[in-house]
């Protein structure tokens, strides 16, 4: 009978031991979960964080600009009179590559929507500043075609809602001294090599312009490989002097009749996050302080408890050992683990994903990222 009981106990221990195959499957499953998390974070970086960085550049462009604010009186912004499009003046500045032309405002995209327009349309300009002027096209308000390019996904999605424009919508361009109010005309989808959309008369090579156009170009479709281009056209309907106030299409009135212009004053919470390299370093310092204190006070109780278990109950797990490697009691270990996750996320956003987007050919093509 004693022999039978001993055999039964040995069989129980052998049955409770994890097989090598189960251990391998478990580790592979955890690695796949980590890989899925890294991929999900890459999507968040591409579609969200690049937009936060673009907003920071927009704010820097605004705060460093020496341009005067629109006219106001007693805290109320003045509404500038509309002038005929046929008499529109043109800025005499000869912009160089990377220079700021002004800002584009599209009420359809939101009351707080505005984007800087710079000279040049390569990725270096579009990624950093949002919108770029095709240098070979005309200036704002000039007879002919003022053409602008912008990304539709990532980097703030400056033209992410270009397909939402409809009849009656306005597209307003502000330069240093003037407002140019364009009215939406039409939208079309063309092939990437359809350069005639940039002609002085959009769609017509060598035609003599008699009107003042604006053309917005962006990628189509929005979130997959861009096989086409989405083109938005508008025509100038009026212009105003910045010194006279703001155009009526951008002015907002409260119940008391006070006129406000808020598109330049709204800032997202995400744009207040400091540079991620400093965030990473601060988290690292906080982690080390807590970890050292926990090690002195409690040492590594999770590892001690694991070693005291029966051999038959030990199962290898990457996640399990990650938690056991943290010193201190359970609440402290959870805090330390979260700090590591946040620090790694900051490192991926700051260095990892930018590096991959530059050096991995597929990601380079799909992201259009430049340093």
Give yes or no for residue 231 having a pLDDT over 70: yes
Cα–Cα distances in Å, from 2 out to 7, 15, 16, 124? 9, 20, 21, 80
Give yes or no for residue 135 having a pLDDT over 80: yes
Check residue 181 and give left, alpha or beta (phi > 0: left; psi -120 to 50: alpha). beta
Supply the pLDDT for residue 77.
Answer: 79
Any idea where the domains of the chain sit in the sequence? 17-54+274-367, 69-268
Q: What is the mean pLDDT of the chain?
A: 86
Supply the pLDDT for residue 9.
Answer: 47
Supply the pLDDT for residue 347.
Answer: 96
Between 44-48, 181-185, 290-294, the lowest mean confidence (pLDDT) is in 44-48
Q: Which CATH class is domain 69-268?
A: mainly beta
Between 149-163, 273-287, 332-346, the lowest mean confidence (pLDDT) is in 149-163
Supply the pLDDT for residue 268.
Answer: 74
When pLDDT is cut at 50, 70 and 90, the band that residue 140 belongs to is very high
Q: 130-133 and 114-119: which strand pairing?
A: parallel
Supply the pLDDT for residue 322.
Answer: 93
Between 19-23, 31-35, 65-69, the lowest mean confidence (pLDDT) is in 65-69
C-alpha closest to that of 211 among 190, 176, 236, 185: 236
**More confident site: 250 or 312:** 250
Per the annotation, the verdict on 8 as an active-site residue is no
Give yes or no for residue 335 having a pLDDT over 60: yes
Options 151, 204, 228, 359, the catalytic residue: 151
**More confident site: 235 or 267:** 235
**More confident site: 40 or 48:** 40
Options 8, 133, 204, 219, the catalytic residue: 219
**More confident site: 3 or 268:** 268
61-95 pLDDT, tens per residue?
666 566 777 766 666 778 889 999 999 999 988 99
265-281 pLDDT, tens per residue?
566 787 788 889 999 99
Residues counted in the chain: 371
CA distance 163 to 189: 10
Residues in CB range of 112: below 8 A, 6 or more apart: 262, 263, 266
Instruction: Give yes or no for a contact between 125 and 135, defined as CB atoms under 8 angstroms apart.
Output: no
**The pTM of the whole model exceeds 0.85:** no
Terminal Cα distance for the chain, rounded: 76
CA distance 31 to 15: 26
Give yes or no for residue 14 having a pLDDT over 80: no
Per the annotation, the verdict on 129 as an active-site residue is no
97-127 pLDDT, tens per residue?
989 999 999 999 988 888 999 999 988 788 8
Instruction: Give yes or no for a contact between 247 and 172, defined as CB atoms under 8 angstroms apart.
Output: yes
Residue 197 burial (CB < 10 Å; 0-12/13-18/19+)?
buried
Q: 212-220 and 144-150: which strand pairing?
A: parallel
CA distance 331 to 348: 26
User: What would the mean pLDDT of 273-302 be, rounded to a whole number?
Assistant: 95
Supply the pLDDT for residue 153.
Answer: 81
339-366 pLDDT, tens per residue?
999 999 999 999 999 999 888 888 887 7
Supply the pLDDT for residue 89.
Answer: 95
Give yes or no for residue 330 having a pLDDT over 90: yes
Cα–Cα distances in Å, from 224 out to 66, 162, 236, 261? 39, 16, 33, 36
């Amino acid at each position: 009978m004693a022999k039978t009981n001993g055999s039964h106990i040995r069989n129980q221990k052998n049955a409770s031991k994890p097989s090598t195959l189960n251990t391998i499957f478990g580790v592979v499953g955890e690695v796949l979960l980590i890989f899925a998390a890294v991929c999900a974070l890459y999507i968040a970086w591409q579609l969200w964080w690049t937009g936060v960085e673009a907003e920071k550049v927009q704010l820097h462009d605004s705060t460093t600009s020496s341009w005067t604010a629109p006219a106001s009186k007693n805290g109320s912004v003045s509404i500038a009179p509309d002038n005929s499009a046929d008499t529109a003046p043109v800025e005499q500045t000869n912009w160089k590559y990377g220079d700021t032309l002004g800002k584009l405002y599209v009420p359809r995209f939101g009351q707080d929507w505005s984007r800087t327009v710079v000279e040049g349309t390569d990725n270096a300009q579009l990624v950093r500043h949002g919108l770029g002027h095709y240098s070979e096209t005309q200036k704002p308000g000039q007879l002919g075609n003022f053409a602008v390019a912008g990304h539709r996904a990532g980097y703030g999605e400056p033209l992410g809602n270009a397909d939402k424009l409809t009849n009656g919508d306005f597209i307003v361009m502000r330069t240093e001294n003037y407002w140019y109010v364009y009215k939406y005309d039409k939208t079309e989808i063309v092939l990437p090599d359809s350069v005639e959309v940039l002609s002085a008369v959009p769609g017509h090579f060598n035609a003599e312009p008699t009107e003042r156009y604006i053309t917005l170009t962006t990628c189509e479709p929005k979130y997959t490989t861009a096989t086409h281009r989405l083109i938005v056209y508008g025509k100038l309907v009026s212009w105003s002097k910045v010194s006279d106030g703001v155009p009526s299409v951008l002015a907002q009135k409260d119940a008391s009749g006070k006129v406000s212009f808020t598109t330049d004053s709204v800032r997202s919470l995400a744009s207040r996050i400091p540079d991620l390299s400093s965030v990473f370093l601060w988290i690292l310092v906080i982690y080390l302080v807590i970890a050292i204190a926990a090690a002195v006070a409690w040492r590594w109780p999770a590892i001690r408890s694991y070693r005291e278990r029966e051999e038959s109950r030990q199962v290898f797990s990457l996640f399990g050992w990650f938690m056991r490697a943290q010193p201190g009691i359970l609440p402290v270990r959870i805090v330390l683990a979260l700090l590591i996750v946040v620090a790694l996320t900051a490192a991926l956003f700051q260095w990892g994903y930018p590096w991959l987007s530059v050096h991995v050919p597929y990601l380079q093509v799909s992201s259009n990222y430049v340093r």
